[in-house]
């Protein structure tokens, strides 16, 4: 017997990297994926429930480096406070339902389960320093457990596996990524020389000026001239440091040791410098 789940995903403005609304046939829970920069647009969406839990993610191509879990009775409005106070996240995922489907006790219990899970699973860091201790209603434990399983399933189906563990090969040179501000770039670090090579095919944010790094400015000028739009790197480009490489790609001022992340959610700093 084939066990089928029908999932409907709506892409707002036909943007696969933008706001997504996910519903599973036969279930009332609604998942809303909100990139940080799309929050004002998301708040204008009509007819969404207000009660549920959410995750703030620092993610790159689905790889999680930091996660925060919480609850809301205000729907998407709750994200405004986190946008002002928490700088790390670039994407939020909310799981919302009507008040009659998630009552106050169930919501508190579900939040505690979600926080405990992110504190004890996966290879990412978490901003949740402690697990809350709500009043447990034994008659609602099964409902909360089912809700949490459904949320984990949807998270994984959407490309964000909260249970993923680091299991990288020990002797290979990993590829690191960044997806900041919608820019997709990748590169490799040479521990012997300290150089970082941005790989061909990486996107470059030419519309964001470089503030200080002269090496990054020079390479941009040599490769792209006076172009003022985003472009794709046609050949590998090496830099004396990971930060210079990050500035070349993203513009502005960047810390390459925390900006470049591998396929398992590890920053360049944690892979190469944590044991030094």
Please give the mean pLDDT across all residues of the chain.
Answer: 88
The answer to whether residue 94 scores a pLDDT higher than 60 is yes
Q: What was the pLDDT predicted at 61?
A: 72
Q: Over the stretch 99-155, which tens digit does the pLDDT of each residue have?
A: 989 999 999 999 999 999 999 988 788 889 888 999 889 999 999 999 999 999 999
pLDDT at 171: 46
Residues 150 and 156: their CA atoms lie apart, in Å, by: 10
Q: How far apart are CA 147 and CA 113, in angstroms?
A: 10
Rounded to an integer, what distance in angstroms lies between the CA atom of residue 82 and that of residue 188? 33
C-alpha 60 chain-centroid distance: 6
Question: Distance of CA 27 to CAs 22, 46, 152, Å?
Answer: 11, 19, 15
> 10 Å Cβ neighbour count for 110?
24
- Split at pLDDT 50, 70, 90, the class of 72 is very high
Q: How far is CA 227 from the centre of its chain?
A: 30
What are the contacts of 114-121 at 24+ separation with CB within 8 A?
114/53, 114/55, 114/69, 114/148, 114/151, 115/69, 115/70, 117/69, 117/148, 117/152, 117/162, 118/55, 118/67, 118/68, 118/69, 118/162, 121/162, 121/163
Radius of gyration (C-alpha) of the chain in whole angstroms: 21
CA pair distance 132, 107, nearest whole angstrom: 12
Q: Number of C-alpha atoms within 13 angstroms, CB side, residue 149?
A: 6
**pTM, two decimal places:** 0.65
pLDDT of residue 64: 84
pLDDT number for residue 6: 93
pLDDT tens per residue across span 147-206 = 999 999 999 999 899 987 655 444 456 889 987 777 889 999 988 888 999 998 888 888
Other CB atoms closer than 10 Å to residue 64's CB: what's the count?
25
**Tokens read off for 53:** 């839990």
User: Number of C-alpha atoms within 13 angstroms, CB side, residue 245?
Assistant: 31
Q: What tokens does 89 get?
A: 């996240």
* Predicted pLDDT at 81: 93
Name which residue leads in pLDDT, 7 or 122: 7
Predicted confidence (pLDDT) per residue in 217-263, tens digit: 888 888 887 666 778 888 889 999 999 999 999 988 889 999 999 87
Output the pLDDT for position 169.
Answer: 46
Beta bridge partners of 196: 189, 239
- Higher confidence at residue 149 or residue 213? 149
């Amino acid at each position: 017997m084939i066990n089928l789940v029908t999932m409907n995903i709506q892409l707002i403005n036909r943007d696969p990297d933008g706001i997504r609304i996910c519903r599973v046939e036969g279930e009332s829970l609604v998942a809303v994926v909100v990139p940080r920069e799309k929050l004002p647009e998301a708040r204008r969406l009509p007819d969404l429930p207000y009660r549920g839990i959410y995750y703030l993610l620092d993610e790159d191509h689905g790889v999680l480096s930091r996660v925060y879990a919480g609850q809301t009775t205000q729907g998407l409005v709750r994200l405004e406070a986190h946008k002002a106070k928490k700088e790390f996240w670039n994407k939020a995922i909310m799981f919302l339902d009507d008040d009659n489907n998630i009552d106050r006790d169930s919501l508190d219990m579900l939040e505690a389960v979600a926080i405990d899970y992110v504190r004890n699973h996966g290879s990412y860091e978490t901003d949740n320093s402690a697990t809350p201790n709500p009043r447990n209603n034994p008659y609602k434990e099964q409902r909360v457990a089912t809700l949490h399983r459904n949320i984990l399933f949807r998270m994984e189906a959407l490309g964000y596996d909260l249970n993923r563990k680091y299991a990288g090969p020990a002797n290979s040179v990993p590829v690191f990524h960044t997806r900041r501000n919608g820019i997709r770039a990748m590169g490799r670090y040479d521990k012997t020389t300290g150089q970082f090579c941005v790989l061909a095919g990486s996107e470059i944010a030419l519309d964001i000026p470089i503030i200080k790094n002269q090496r990054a400015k020079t390479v941009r000028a040599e490769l792209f001239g006076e172009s003022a739009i985003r472009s794709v790197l046609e050949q590998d480009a090496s830099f004396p440091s990971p930060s210079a490489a990050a500035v070349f790609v993203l513009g502005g001022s960047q810390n390459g040791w925390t900006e470049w992340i591998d396929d398992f959610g590890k920053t360049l700093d944690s892979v190469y410098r944590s044991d030094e």
